[in-house]
Structure 1
């Protein structure tokens, strides 16, 4: 029926926004780099605590705080939280780069699954993989503090949304030398926001710049790397979760192509649809994710897999908490299985 309830809710939120909320949203946009650092430190603190006590204790503590304050402001800890992302991004060179790589803020804050090693991080694995295929990536020095602007759009914060949309547009234009290099994004929801939202909230000049840019998701980038890679072994079975954004962008076929390169069998459980995470909603209201994934969880329990793969960090976190399976980016096994035996 082509009904976009997301846009409807965003419109309601913009209409209900207040001056104080707009000021707060704009301040958050202008100081996003500091918020990133604080978020990583918070993740480090949570990791330290959950390494010494049962995560259920943390869950009960945060639930108590949410009862006192607000469940729409204080996130929960519905299960084991991921490692924090490393404070430093991998070193890359501009001169030989075949594309600009913008590590998204969700992957600059949230690291790997708690049951996985801390390293390599997603940016480290992606840079290594691309170089191995003869398609090196360049990460600009000033990516921190910049975002696709989707969080402000989702909250209906018009001022912060416009400020960040203009800031990322200007940065992309500068990084790519006015569109001479493609830019690669490592989270499907952020790719979706850059391709379909930013240009609607900037002036005509910036809109023309956005239309001139070649913005590619890591899925299509890695699909094109496959002919230049050789797997040292294959997995038996991988479980795949296509996200809402990969579906909107028409990337599910490419994601399955990559999964087939990695494993003999690819399983998309019956009932796999939207996981319900929706950015921060999975932490604010984890019951939504549990409800949205109940059929998918049943399918996973009926058929075990060696790896659980998706293409968006927050979705992977929601799936981890709701299904108990360690969902991660497809980039990790792709880098591991094509590396030295």
Structure 2
């Protein structure tokens, strides 16, 4: 990324780059840069750039390092004569240039996310001849300023003279509509009459440019296009009015409303970037579609135009919208505005059972009698485990599938037996860690047929002691919970109450934060970090990498293993740490492609198993093709779903680390 003193200077540099060994050049003006300031990976120094600063993202490629270095040198020398704010700086590190490309791809949604609630984000793309770039692009910028579009931005594929301009527009008053109409007229005149450019450089024409197609192409070419359209579509069924439209004002009519729904999602411009991480995309609704439906519900409520449709839409939204959303928040990781549609789902669930409702009362009772609830869970697990032994897998599975159709949670052979933690009290001068086993791992043992029959809590203690740590447990563990259960059900006040209770117990156990705290379940630790700020909190991967690796000798196996990186691990940016830890233990770590969130989502693997199965539909074929016999992760519930749908045992990565390590031998 190279930063120039003005947009004209950057465009002059583009003209020079056309003759240099580059394969792509992207331009970002100052407002485009401003829209991504403060984002993860974006350098802080861009905040200090003056108005007028324009960046060029320059890409080159070669067959080998020597050729690449020569090309970089040639490009750098070719840019020496232009005024820059920082030296030309290339990188061949994927983690660094990925950030730069994310900057570029996130401009449109970022600008759109800055718009006032209820307004619309519009984007157009025009093209100029390369020799006209400095004057034409500067004039486009001047037109946007003249019409008071102060949050607009210009960016695009500079080597092709193709530029997008984005603006946020409200259409709620005649004055705003007139302002937009005047802007478009000036842009059309400048592009077509003055610079003989293109009104549509790479994207479809759309209604916004339909009135100006004839002006750009001329009567004769326009007539030929229209005749071709009539030959293929005599009844005007396909995209009516989108390219050929007799209404010269069609671009300022029939605006799509974007009603205010909730602060969490009001910045959404419906770009769809989030959908790549939405596990229900293609099954029920995607994260983007959930927002769109909620906007339509809000619009119908505000206008009152169709009460029957509103009632039906509200009712029909339950299963595809509320019930099947995992709420994992992975959608936010690919959204430039970091919109977590799961938070909207939690809000809607909260609205569905307000305080005093039956569900909320049951939630409060479960929180206040959590120890008893765990004991009941252990009894159920013990009975199910015994029934599995007596009936066998096939009959037990059939009975449970029938019961699931009647509304009972689904049991699968991956379900573990019961377990109760027996705290180990060590009197030692060794370094100390507070270990809080999650509720799930306090209650669940291992599944029948697992490669290792040791419960995770015992395995964790063994690993910690192997590394020379004294393990301390918080008092009254059976009562404690991070609160994730209630948060996911839309009961944030109960969740916060449980988190505060846990915080108090951990504060005492850690001697007021003196010792680090380890939780063995990634989703639980994620919420703990979000809510508890006075303690050093770790999940297994980060704790092992930071504290145990220096104390252990690793003896890697050649046995191939599968690795599932959970949603919360990704959200805490520990995915690389998890991969690195697995690679310390095995020379063949396999991460299945196109397997993101597993869809278990706390209890959905029991109550909505079809979502878990859909999310993992591509898992089993890859495991079988790779000959994988064991998989590892860092969330017990996820591991149950992975085992059910993957066909192989999945266990905590702690098991693999423990099997591959010995205490570090002292240096002689």
SS at match of 1:294: coil
CA distance in 2, matches of 1:162, 1:130: 30
Aligned-residue offset at 1:90: 4.2
Unaligned residue ranges in structure 1 (runs of 5+): 200-209
CA distance in 2, matches of 1:75, 1:90: 31
Match status 1:133 vs 2:467: yes
Distance 2:629 2:556 in 1: 13
2:352 pairs with 16, 30, 44, which one?
Answer: 16
**Contact kept in structure 1, 2:413 and 2:448, CA below 8 Å:** no
Paired residues of 1:28 and 1:160 also in contact (CA < 8 A): no
Deviation of the 1:324 alpha carbon: 1.1
| Alpha-carbon distance in structure 2 between the residues aligned to 1:24 and 1:221 | 36
Aligned structure 1 segments of 4 or more residues deviating by more than 4 angstroms: none
**Structure 2: runs of 5 or more not aligned:** 1-334, 664-668
Q: Deviations over 1:129-185 (max 9, x none)?
A: 111112332123421121110000000124422321221121122221221111111
With normalisation by structure 1, the TM-score equals: 0.89
Q: CA deviation at 1:77?
A: 1.3
State the alpha-carbon separation in 1 of the partners of residues 340 and 656 from structure 2.
Answer: 34
Counterpart position of 1:45: 383
Aligned match of 1:296: 619
RMSD: 1.9
Aligned length: 323
Report the alpha carbon displacement of residue 46 of structure 1 after superposing the two structures with TM.
0.6
Which of 490, 503, 506 is matched with 1:156 structurally?
490
Tell me the TM-score normalized by structure 2: 0.46
| Aligned equivalent of 2:628 | 305
Select which of 34, 39, 53 maps to 2:372. 34
Q: 1:213 Cα deviation (Å)?
A: 1.0
Give the greater-gyration-radius structure (CA): 2
Q: In structure 2, do the counterparts of structure 1 residues 119 and 79 end up closer, same or farther at CA, with 3 Å as the change threshold?
A: closer
**2:629·2:649 contact (CA, 8 Å) conserved in 1?**
no
Alignment of 1:1-341 (within 5 A): 1=335, 2-18=338-354, 19=356, 20-68=358-406, 71=407, 74-85=408-419, 87-93=420-426, 96=429, 97-116=431-450, 119-196=453-530, 199=531, 210-224=532-546, 225-232=548-555, 234-339=557-662
Q: Distance in 1 between matches of 2:466 and 2:534?
A: 29
CA deviation string 1:213-269 (max 9, x = no partner): 111111111113122212355242111000101000111111111111111111101
Q: Secondary structure at the match of 1:144?
A: helix
- Indicate the residue corresponding to 2:116 in structure 1: none
Q: Distance in 2 between matches of 1:43 and 1:339?
A: 34
